[in-house]
């Protein structure tokens, strides 16, 4: 038997390209199902962890999935509610409200208006600089800072939604005051500003020039060059001139994260919204995420059902390749007979070759599964965050 494996090994080494192709194909077939399940398990764990860390969400009525995804992952919000909803939650005394406003984007990254409570709630701390304290200040997530190539002290302008909307959202030059430590969450790819700064970008607040123009002591900011759109920058000199028109309770936000005092307070708060016929809803992100994952994993089960026949077909193709290979080696087999070897010897040689191929494919497949398992967390984080 030892000689059988030696001869089989020499033959496989002599036909390196053919042997490597067979081993690689068989390794992928063996590694694909467990590798995919490792990725699914990591995706479920990762998505559930962020949802479990968010007790309750209050947002506009509609799709609960859209509300959860827009709040946890800063996707486009389906609708907005007013800041008064956060005040309403705070007035109950049952939960601490954390409002956020994620309407705008900066160079493809979400621009999120929050209060300082959000950073404490998510455990976000600056690795460099400080958290936003003034209008026009912003703090970058770790990956956002790498992508934008900015450091504390730099300034950059937001992206206008519509260059022809002169009365609505307009570019605002932001000052980077800090960069958050990496948290391996969607917060890493976000640009955070104070809620008031987000409302200035919305066009709900503005400042006035202090220079005298056209006989007026204080004129609204207009471009000196006569262009339709001008960048606005908030500086210590003009900070005091910025103000808002209207009741802040009517200003828009995407959602409110409600952090209840205890289980009883959570039940009372949920009961109030369940009995409310208004335009808002309250959801538990973990429940919504689990329902979403159940639907996703139903697709995964369907994928498994499709994958098994495909793997079977691939294995049959490999068997066909081996059978054709043995036919091409007819003269070699005849030579083995002529030198006095029995038919059983030929069978042992072929079995040894197949065994070596399967063992090599199993080893390579195990390495692939191990590599996928080690990189699953980073892979899932990247694609979910992206």
Using CB atoms within 10 Å of the CB of residue 352, give its burial: 0 to 12 exposed, 13 to 18 middle, 19+ buried: buried
The per-residue pLDDT for 232 is 67
- 245-261 pLDDT, tens digit per residue, is 778 888 999 999 999 99
Domain residue extents for the chain:
2-48+292-385, 57-283
Which position has the token pair 């699914």? 40
Q: What is the pTM of this model?
A: 0.72
- Mean pLDDT, residues 347-358 taken together: 80
Residue 204, CA distances (Å) to 14, 112, 252, 286 in order = 76, 16, 10, 34
Residue 208's pLDDT is 59
Alpha helices in the chain (DSSP H): 2-14, 16-52, 64-72, 84-92, 116-122, 142-148, 195-202, 263-274, 285-328, 330-338, 343-385
Confidence at residue 177, expressed as pLDDT on a 0 to 100 scale: 93
Q: What's the CA gap between 255 and 54, in Å, rounded?
A: 12
243 exposed, middle or buried (CB, 10 Å; 0-12, 13-18, 19+)? exposed
Q: Is the pLDDT of residue 148 over 80?
A: yes
pLDDT (0 to 100) of residue 94: 92
* Residue 115: per-residue pLDDT: 92
For tokens 């006095």, the residue is 340
Alpha carbons 187 and 119: distance in angstroms, whole number: 10
pLDDT, tens digit, 9 for 90 and up, residues 200-212: 888 776 665 544 4
Lowest-confidence region among 29-33, 133-137, 302-306, 352-356: 302-306
Q: What is the pLDDT of residue 215?
A: 41
Q: Give the separation between CA 245 and CA 247, rounded to whole angstroms.
A: 7
Strands 191-194 and 109-114 turn out to be: parallel
Helices within 53-110 (DSSP H only): 64-72, 84-92
Band the pLDDT of 216: cuts 50, 70, 90. very low
Asked if pLDDT for residue 55 goes beyond 60, the answer is yes
Low-confidence winner among 58-67, 323-332, 361-370 (lowest mean pLDDT):
323-332
Question: Is 70 exceeded by the pLDDT of residue 161?
Answer: no
Mean of the pLDDT values across residues 43-58?
86
Mean model confidence pLDDT for the chain: 79
Report, as an integer, the average pLDDT of 342-370.
Answer: 81
The predicted model gives 353-368 an average pLDDT of 86
What's the chain's length in residues?
A: 386
* pLDDT of residue 224 exceeding 50: no
Residue 186 near residue 384, CB atoms below 8 Å: yes
Q: Is pLDDT at 217 greater than 60 in this prediction?
A: no
- The 10 Å Cβ neighbour count of residue 24 is 15
Strands 137-140 and 172-180, sheet pairing = parallel
């Amino acid at each position: 038997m030892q000689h059988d494996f030696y001869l089989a090994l020499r033959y496989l080494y002599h036909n390196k390209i053919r042997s490597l192709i067979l081993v690689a194909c068989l390794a992928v077939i063996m590694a694909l199902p467990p590798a995919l399940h490792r990725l699914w398990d990591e995706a479920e764990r990762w998505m559930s962890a962020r949802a479990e860390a968010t007790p309750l969400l209050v947002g506009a009525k509609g799709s609960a999935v859209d509300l959860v995804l827009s709040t946890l992952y800063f996707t486009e919000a389906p609708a907005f509610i007013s800041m008064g909803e956060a005040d309403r939650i705070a007035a109950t005394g049952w939960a601490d409200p954390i409002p956020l406003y994620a309407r705008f984007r900066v160079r493809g990254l979400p621009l999120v208006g929050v209060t300082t409570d959000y950073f404490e709630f998510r455990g976000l701390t600056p690795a460099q600089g400080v958290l936003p304290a003034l209008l026009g200040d912003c703090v970058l997530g770790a990956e956002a800072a790498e992508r934008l190539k900015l450091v504390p002290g730099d300034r950059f302008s937001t992206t206008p939604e519509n260059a022809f909307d002169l009365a609505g959202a307009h570019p605002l030059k932001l000052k980077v005051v800090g960069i958050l430590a990496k948290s391996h969450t969607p917060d890493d790819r976000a640009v955070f500003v104070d809620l008031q700064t987000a409302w200035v970008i919305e066009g709900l607040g503005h400042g006035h020039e202090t220079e005298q123009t056209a006989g007026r002591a204080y004129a609204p900011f207009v471009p000196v060059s006569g262009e339709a759109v001008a960048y606005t920058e908030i500086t210590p000199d003009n900070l005091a001139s910025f103000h808002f028109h209207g009741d802040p309770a009517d200003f828009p936000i995407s959602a409110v994260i409600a952090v209840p005092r205890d289980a009883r307070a959570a039940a009372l708060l949920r009961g109030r919204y369940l009995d409310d016929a208004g335009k808002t809803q309250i959801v538990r992100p973990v429940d919504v995420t689990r329902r979403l994952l159940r639907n996703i994993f139903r697709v995964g089960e369907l994928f498994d059902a499709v994958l098994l026949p495909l793997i079977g077909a691939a294995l049959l193709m490999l068997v066909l390749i081996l059978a054709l290979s043995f036919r091409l080696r007819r003269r070699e087999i005849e030579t083995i007979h002529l030198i006095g070897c029995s038919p059983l010897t030929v069978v042992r040689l072929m079995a040894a070759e197949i065994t070596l191929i399967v063992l090599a494919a199993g080893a390579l497949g195990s390495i692939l599964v191990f590599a996928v398992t080690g990189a699953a967390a980073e892979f899932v984080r990247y694609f979910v965050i992206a």
